[in-house]
Amino acid sequence: MKNIYLLLSLLLISSACNAPKTTNKQKNTPVNEFAIIIHGGAGTILKKNMTPEKETAYKTKLEEAIRTGYEILKNGGSSGDAVVKTIQVMEESPLFNAGKGAVFTHDETNELDASFMDGKTLNAGAVAGVKDIKSPIEAARIVMTNSDHVMLSGSGASQFAKEQGLEIVDPSYFYTENRFKSLQRIKDKEKTALDHDDKEASFYDTDIKNSKFGTVGCVALDKNGNITAGTSTGGMTNKRWGRIGDSPIIGSGTYANNKTCGVSSTGWGEYFIRSQVAYDISAQMEYQQKSLKEATKDVIQNKLTKLGGTGGVVALDKNGNMSFEFNTAGMYRASMNDKGDLIIKIYND
């Protein structure tokens, strides 16, 4: 009998030794030396509402943006430079609700927000409600590097940007006819609404069907293992009273930590603020040992959705794993890894 027990014990030990690697081991295996992932907003983006010409325009601009950052990373540049230069391509395009394509407030002005975070130092910078800074993402980075603060707003942020030599433009630079017409349609809808509880009147935009979802963002991992995340937006169409969403708020719209991941959010900002979406993904990875995919799925599909929030994130972990996660019909998105593999998608497919 003792011999049988001994034999069984040896078999169990042998099985344990030959067992597959643990999940944690797999999570710690690098898959990309460097990588980059971007979004251009999420919402009710349906193929039936998109012309072939417009779809091509979005995909072309997404590719231009991500290849800009990819070349920087490929040549040994920093993830910080890659994030800023990539986002600037989208800020300068009227296709996206950021920079040049920013939506209009109720008062028919453009108020821009952006944030930037360095995963190595956990330092961060942000600007909110600015009206004349050509590149809000550049301003956010300068707040991080050249000031003792994290967030500057309004005229103070503009004054700081001027003193730092950033490009200042006349507010008319941000005017685009389609965004202005979207605001007028919303105002007309408000005027004719029989019930003031018609909340969607404040959010509707013909370009993406949900004007609160046009934000752009980028996360990059460089060859030195540093993660940087950035987000830039024009906010919500028809917003009032100096409303600020999640995009300039560290932990909500943007978060980066070399120990875990980098995240950029796009969605209904109030819910992302209340959920601390970007930080929650990192925290689940750090404290619950979840993979990037597990954490992004739980935060977006479970926690955010149950709260009533809609939108999504792009995320990139320290090993180069990437995740697109959203609970809307679509999200403008793209990614590239160290092998040059390019993915560009719009719809939920």
Active site residues: 215
Rounded distance, CA 33 to CA 245, Å? 33
Say if CB 97 and CB 42 are below 8 A apart: no
Tokens 């209340």 correspond to 274
Q: Which amino acid is at 112?
A: L
**Quick one: which H or E segment has residue 273?**
helix 269-275
Q: Exposed, middle or buried by CB within 10 Å (0-12, 13-18, 19+), for 76? A: exposed
Q: Exposed, middle or buried by CB within 10 Å (0-12, 13-18, 19+), for 232? A: buried
Rounded distance, CA 95 to CA 330, Å? 15
Rounded distance, CA 97 to CA 87, Å? 12
CA 314 from centre of chain: 6
Sign of CA dihedral 170, 176, 180, 182: negative
Say if CB 219 and CB 265 are below 8 A apart: no
Rounded distance, CA 114 to CA 65, Å? 17
Say if CB 331 and CB 324 are below 8 A apart: yes
Phi (first) and psi of residue 307, to 5 degrees: -75, -20
Q: Is 313 helix (H, G, I), strand (E, B) or coil?
A: strand
